[in-house]
């Protein structure tokens, strides 16, 4: 593309084209070409509306619509030649449209500006990512439900401080992540509902004097309504920030689960075995099976958090309305979206494929005096002991068992009565890990019956 052509796109204000440095810093086509489909969809809706309102002729609108479809097919086929001199996806598409259909192409930009055009394109692109994230989260939640259902009554240790705390069930642990990713799903849906307003027709910043129909273009593009203030419409990037915020929280949840998979798949834990599809070997240690997919998910959080912070910094000092700073709103969002979708897909695959080691889970569930709280609760419930006193008695019994090199259920009744004479043999009904988890029947508790109830609740929600 020649400088002369580029200058024509700028209009008559500039006598000479930007030099190479200005062209390099000003151009966004290297990354905003990703919005080609959204740009063409917006332009086709705009052209149809201009014809419907009598601003342009039906024949011009038809030529524009058909020409834009040709441009889209060239881009999708990889046959389109993008030009840095034309700065961005909008001007690249418009220039090619002019090559194809001639003068009618010049009427496409009537009643709009690149400001509302890019705001529309970007909003459409982010909306597509929210829909993709929703699909990824639904698939992951279903994989977790499958794991929870298979092991609703499998005992395992619950941890605080990564120390054995109380016995829980495998199903209960999986359902904890269902709740986390369920909130992520809610945030994605909530963000989509709030951002689904059309900026198209806000023009540069003040609206337009042409008799356009913004309701028509909003409907054509699947928006709920046109944005109500033209100044805000072209300068708002909250929708991208909300996506990055929701993506950051989701990525944090993915990272937490990835960390557990790394720990659980280690030789020291052996809680789970990850499939070969999501593991790698070592170049020199043949025995190694590394949880690389989980580790990479854990690392990708940094990129997504960084994107969130970067866009906040871009937007924090901008007066209304549009400033060129806002060209820096896309690359980090594109990168964050790519990495979030990849991480969701990888986690869904790992969860679906992984095998829990029931024997290792059960062996670990009874370690570390995990039923000490059940003993303290029994002392309160059966003997009427104040909880602080029960806590002290239980601590003494733990110390006794530790000195004997055994666990609480292995102490004899005489051993226990040496610490507190009123303890009866009924205490042994609460000390086994199976008894412990079965007793946790409070709503949201780890009892298998409660876990299965939550699984059914989520299945109904997903239907």
**Catalytically annotated residues:** 161, 282
Is the Cα torsion angle 58, 64, 70, 73 positive or negative in sign? Answer: negative
> What is the enclosing helix (H) or strand (E) of 216?
helix 214-220
Tokens 């999708």 label which residue?
76
Long-range contacts of residues 14-19, Cβ cutoff 8 Å, at least 24 apart: 17/85
Maximum distance among all Cα pairs of the chain, rounded to whole angstroms? 100
Which pair of structure tokens corresponds to residue 195?
């951002």
Q: How far is the C-alpha of 133 from the C-alpha of 335, rounded, in Å?
A: 14
Q: CB neighbours of 49 closer than 8 A, spacing ≥ 6? A: 212, 213, 216, 217, 220
- Please answer whether residues 362 and 156 qualify as being in contact, where contact means their C-beta atoms are separated by less than 8 angstroms: yes
Find residue 355's DSSP bridge partners: 273
3-class DSSP assignment, residue 356: strand
The vertex-423 CA angle with 418 and 428, nearest 5°, equals 110
Q: How far is the C-alpha of 77 from the C-alpha of 69, rounded, in Å?
A: 12
The vertex-411 CA angle with 406 and 415, nearest 5°, equals 130
Q: How far is the C-alpha of 156 from the C-alpha of 145, rounded, in Å?
A: 17
Find residue 169's DSSP bridge partners: 155
DSSP 368-390: TTTTHHHHHHHHHHHH---HHHH
DSSP 16-32: S---HHHHHHH--HHHH
Residue 378 C-beta-side C-alpha neighbours within 13 Å? 22
Please tell me what DSSP assigns to residue 78. T
3-class DSSP assignment, residue 189: helix
Rg of the chain (C-alpha set)? 31
Q: CB neighbours of 416 closer than 8 A, spacing ≥ 6? A: 397, 423, 427
Please tell me what DSSP assigns to residue 318. P
Q: How far is the C-alpha of 61 from the C-alpha of 104, rounded, in Å?
A: 8
Output the CA torsion 209→210→216→221 (10° steps). Answer: -80
- Main-chain dihedrals φ then ψ at residue 446, nearest 5 degrees: -90, -5
The closest alpha carbon to 330, from 123, 189, 177, belongs to 123
């Amino acid at each position: 593309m020649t400088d002369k052509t580029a200058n024509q796109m700028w209009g008559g204000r500039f006598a000479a084209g930007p030099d190479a440095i200005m062209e390099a810093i000003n151009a966004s086509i290297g990354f905003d070409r990703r919005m080609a489909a959204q740009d063409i969809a917006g332009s086709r809706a705009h052209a149809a509306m201009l014809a419907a309102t009598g601003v342009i002729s039906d024949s011009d609108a038809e030529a524009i619509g058909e020409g834009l479809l040709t441009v889209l097919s060239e881009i999708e086929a990889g046959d389109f030649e993008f030009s840095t001199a034309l700065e961005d996806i909008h001007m690249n598409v418009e220039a090619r449209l002019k090559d194809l259909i001639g003068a009618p192409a010049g009427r496409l930009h009537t009643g709009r500006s690149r400001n509302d055009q890019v705001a529309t394109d970007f909003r459409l692109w982010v909306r597509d990512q929210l829909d993709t994230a929703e699909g990824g989260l639904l698939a992951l939640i279903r994989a977790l439900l499958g794991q929870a259902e298979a092991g609703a009554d499998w005992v395992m240790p619950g941890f605080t401080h990564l120390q054995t705390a109380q016995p829980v069930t495998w199903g209960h642990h999986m359902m904890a992540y269902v709740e986390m990713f369920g909130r992520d799903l809610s945030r994605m849906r909530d963000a989509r509902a709030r951002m689904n307003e059309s900026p198209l027709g806000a023009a540069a910043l003040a609206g337009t004097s042409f008799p356009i129909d913004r309701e028509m273009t909003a409907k054509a593009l699947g928006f709920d309504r046109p944005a109500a203030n033209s100044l805000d419409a072209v300068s708002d990037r909250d929708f991208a920030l909300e996506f990055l915020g929701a993506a950051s929280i989701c990525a944090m949840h993915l990272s937490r689960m990835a960390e557990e998979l790394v720990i659980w798949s280690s030789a020291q834990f052996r809680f789970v075995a990850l499939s070969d599809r999501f593991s790698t070997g070592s170049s020199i240690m043949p025995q190694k099976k590394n949880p690389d997919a989980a580790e990479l998910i854990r690392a990708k959080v940094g990129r997504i958090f960084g994107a969130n912070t970067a866009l906040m910094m871009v937007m924090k000092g901008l007066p209304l309305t549009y400033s060129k700073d806002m060209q820096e709103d896309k690359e980090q969002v594109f990168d964050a979206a790519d990495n979030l979708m990849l991480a969701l897909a990888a986690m869904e695959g790992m969860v679906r494929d992984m095998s829990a080691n029931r024997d290792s889970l059960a062996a670990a569930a009874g370690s570390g005096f995990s039923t000490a709280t059940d003993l303290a609760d029994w002392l309160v419930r059966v003997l009427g002991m104040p909880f602080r006193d029960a806590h002290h008695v239980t601590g003494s019994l733990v110390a006794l068992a530790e000195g004997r090199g055994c666990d609480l259920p292995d102490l004899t009744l005489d051993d226990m009565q040496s610490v507190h004479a009123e303890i009866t043999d009924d205490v042994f009904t609460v000390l086994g890990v199976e008894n412990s988890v079965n007793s946790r029947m409070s709503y949201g508790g780890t009892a298998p019956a409660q876990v299965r109830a939550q699984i059914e609740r989520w299945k109904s929600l997903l239907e």
